Structure 1
Amino acid sequence: MIKLKPYKRSKWQIHLLFWILYYILEVYLDFYWSRYQFPDFKWSVRLQNTLILELGYLLIKMPLAYALLYVFEKIHIKEIFKYLLYIFIVITAVFGHRFLTHYIIYPYIYGVTETLDGKYPSGFINGYVAFNSFMDLIFMVGLIFGVEITRQKNLLKEQISLLKSEKLDQELSMLKAQINPHFLFNTLNNIYGMALKKADETPDVILQLSKIMRYNIYEAAEKRISIAKDIENIKDFIQIQKIRHRHLTISFTEDIDHPSQEISPLILIQFVENAFKHGVSESLGETFITINIRLKNGILTYFIENSKEEKPHTHSTKIGQKNIRRQLELLYPQHTLSVENQNDRYIVTLTIDFHDTKPSL
């Protein structure tokens, strides 16, 4: 679930920063302008007056800004009525701006009568002064709308990113859920065959299976585990299979320079499982599996070669292979996977550059 509370707090932080910066900008502009409008005033008096009058203007501008934003975001009416409401709010703000300027700022802060160009007395409202007030307010409205629309776009991008991440997490969980039963089902079949033969090794295999199930329940639930743990799980799986397949020659080599390197669980084991299920288990004579895992400088090279019958007796649905390909696409988009299906052998070469791993998954 996406929680919006952090973004709401962020909204008010952004708006507070906006008003502080806007206030500083307006103080600077009005203080600069007051040098020409009131040349006889000391700079300290002009600065004090400017700080006060800009605070007064904020009492008009802030309600205007949030009234327009509220109408923009919350009120859902016909466009024509919404535009009329905008116009009414702006006109009301212009009158408030003029009242503050004409009746309070000039007579009480500056101690003079408001004039036009310093010559002619200005009335409370006329075209020139109304236009000035309108432009002052619209400049502020444009800025606050720009800030808010930008904030909302960034929020939308973050929400979309979270949704994509959640969707990928759910898809990966579904893929793992398809792999785990498939993996355990094959192993239980092996134990069933040994139990029918009353093999002495059956208790040891059950104990080994318990260890593998613990891995699948706890370790595989994590997004990533160390490659050392993943390799240990592969070795446990091989030990179980070696008991059943007496005529199997298996070679397993590893060269790992960073055992704590993290990898998504249940990816590597699937290729080993396929080597047994669709290679060794379908062969009647001598069989072999060669596995080589190499990790150097963040780049994993995974090689599996297994013997197979030229005409296997069963047809593989390749569901597990499709799942693994999909997981690799989601987690390691820059990976390379080479599959060679020759007459007497099956060769898989997987390369993963962990520098290109997606951090959100």
Structure 2
Amino acid sequence: MKPDRKSKLYVHLLFWVLYYVLEVYLDFYWSRYQFPDTEWQIRLQHTIILEIGYLLIKMLMAYALLYVYEKSRIRKWYAFMLYFSIITLAVLAHRFFTHYIIYPHIYGMVETLDGKELSGYINGLVAFNSFMDLIFLAGLIFGVEITRQKNVLKEQYSKLKSEKLDQELTMLKAQINPHFLFNTLNNIYGMALKKADETPDAILQLSKVMRYNIYEAAERYISIDKDVENIRDFLQIQQIRHHDLVIRFNEDIDHLSQEISPLILIQFVENAFKHGVSETLGKSFIHIDIKLHNGVLHYYIENSKEEKPHGNSTKIGLKNIRRQLELLYPKHILTVESTNDRYIVTLIINLNDPSRF
């Protein structure tokens, strides 16, 4: 059974059970005034039986109305005529069941109103009461069904939105991994040409980083200690290549198992090397501070750059990062400052923000 039909079955079943119990209670309460001399057990038995008959009439009317409502192709005037016809038939069935079955066969008496025989006027008044009862029921069932449909649509929209975000994030991450791999391989290639002794260590560090990118980064969230360890591995690779690089890496984390989306923090470090440190002709540096207290992450990166860097490709990388942050942490705060000789990035994220996707 499809989820929508299953949900409809459960909601409607619950509605009719509650409605039937309420009608039995109200009719039983009313019967003690109309039949004061009848024992309560008999009155309850009569009430249970007659309310089953009324319930069948009301259910047929309700689902006939809903059927017309769900057929959106039906023209409005034609739908109105069908609504009117269905309700009219339901009123007639309701009156027939009451007048010709309930009173003579269950109550064993002729139907009256305030002790008077049902004349034309009184019969019309009773029919109007039946009409109002059925209209009230129709309003209830329409309200229940429309609310249920809105909730189903809301769930479907939320699911589609989540799937769309997952696909977009997967695409954005896919843009990161090859870029990082190619850049690092180029670095190791340069070291191999020089027959540097650090080449094996660089390959080992690269294998750790790639293992993280392939396996850990596939998860939506990971512990922050794994993400920080990946940054350390990346810095060690860069330190091997840039011997004069000054690295300052500080961390103050009060909860190592705090979850964070992978590949967010490392992108700023990659950007720092691609568009700053690697292009610096003089002494290059990168300062990284990571502070996590009570679920709030403060991330600070400062790195050297040339006074007149060529091109503006850094904007592409930042655009990718900003988009991921918008999807994952809508309430983040990101500032990027560029001076004559350095880039400064500050990121603040509440990792426990309930609005995060």
Normalised to the residue count of structure 1, the TM-score between the two structures is 0.93
CA distance in 1: counterparts of 2:354 and 2:286, whole angstroms: 29
Whether 1:176 aligns to 2:176 is no
| Pairwise CA RMSD | 1.9
1:141-193: CA deviation from partner (whole Å, max 9, x where unpaired) = 11111111111112222222222222222222222122222222211221222
**Contact 1:226 1:260 survives alignment (8 Å):** yes
Aligned position for 1:224: 221
CA distance in 1: counterparts of 2:146 and 2:73, whole angstroms: 18
Whether 1:331 aligns to 2:344 is no
CA distance in 2: counterparts of 1:90 and 1:327, whole angstroms: 55
**Contact 1:302 1:349 survives alignment (8 Å):** yes
Return the offset for 1:314: 4.7
1:54-91: CA deviation from partner (whole Å, max 9, x where unpaired) = 11111111111111111111362222222222222222
**Contact 1:308 1:344 survives alignment (8 Å):** yes
- Report SS of the residue matched to 1:318: helix
Whether 1:290 aligns to 2:295 is no
How is 1:85-124 mapped onto 2 (pairs within 5 angstroms)? 85-121=82-118
Q: Relative to structure 2, which stretch is displaced further, 166-175 or 280-289?
A: 166-175
Whether 1:152 aligns to 2:146 is no
Aligned position for 1:348: 345
Whether 1:143 aligns to 2:140 is yes
Whether 1:67 aligns to 2:90 is no
- Report SS of the residue matched to 2:228: helix
CA distance in 1: counterparts of 2:331 and 2:76, whole angstroms: 49
**Contact 2:275 2:314 survives alignment (8 Å):** no
Aligned position for 1:311: 308
Return the offset for 1:340: 1.8
CA distance in 2: counterparts of 1:121 and 1:288, whole angstroms: 99
CA distance in 2: counterparts of 1:165 and 1:82, whole angstroms: 38
**Contact 1:337 1:351 survives alignment (8 Å):** yes
User: Sequence identity, in percent?
Assistant: 75
Aligned position for 2:162: 165
1:26 is aligned with what amino acid? E
CA distance in 1: counterparts of 2:30 and 2:308, whole angstroms: 92
Aligned position for 2:199: 202
Return the offset for 1:354: 1.5
2:303 is aligned with what amino acid? N
- Report SS of the residue matched to 2:24: helix
2:336 is aligned with what amino acid? V
1:216-261: CA deviation from partner (whole Å, max 9, x where unpaired) = 1111111111101101111111111111111111111211111110
CA distance in 2: counterparts of 1:12 and 1:282, whole angstroms: 66
CA distance in 2: counterparts of 1:135 and 1:297, whole angstroms: 59
CA distance in 1: counterparts of 2:267 and 2:234, whole angstroms: 11
2:87 is aligned with what amino acid? V
How is 1:239-254 mapped onto 2 (pairs within 5 angstroms)? 239-254=236-251
1:227 is aligned with what amino acid? I
- Report SS of the residue matched to 1:24: helix
CA distance in 2: counterparts of 1:91 and 1:357, whole angstroms: 52
Return the offset for 1:281: 0.8
1:79-107: CA deviation from partner (whole Å, max 9, x where unpaired) = 22222222222222222212211111101
Normalised to the residue count of structure 2, the TM-score between the two structures is 0.94
1:108-148: CA deviation from partner (whole Å, max 9, x where unpaired) = 1111011233221568x942332222222111111111111
2:211 is aligned with what amino acid? R
1:26-71: CA deviation from partner (whole Å, max 9, x where unpaired) = 1222222223322222222222211111111111111111111111
CA distance in 2: counterparts of 1:313 and 1:47, whole angstroms: 90
Return the offset for 1:316: 2.8
- Report SS of the residue matched to 2:212: helix
Q: How many residues align?
A: 356
2:52 is aligned with what amino acid? L
Aligned position for 1:16: 13
CA distance in 2: counterparts of 1:7 and 1:77, whole angstroms: 23
**Contact 2:62 2:138 survives alignment (8 Å):** yes
Q: Relative to structure 2, which stretch is displaced further, 59-68 or 184-193?
A: 184-193
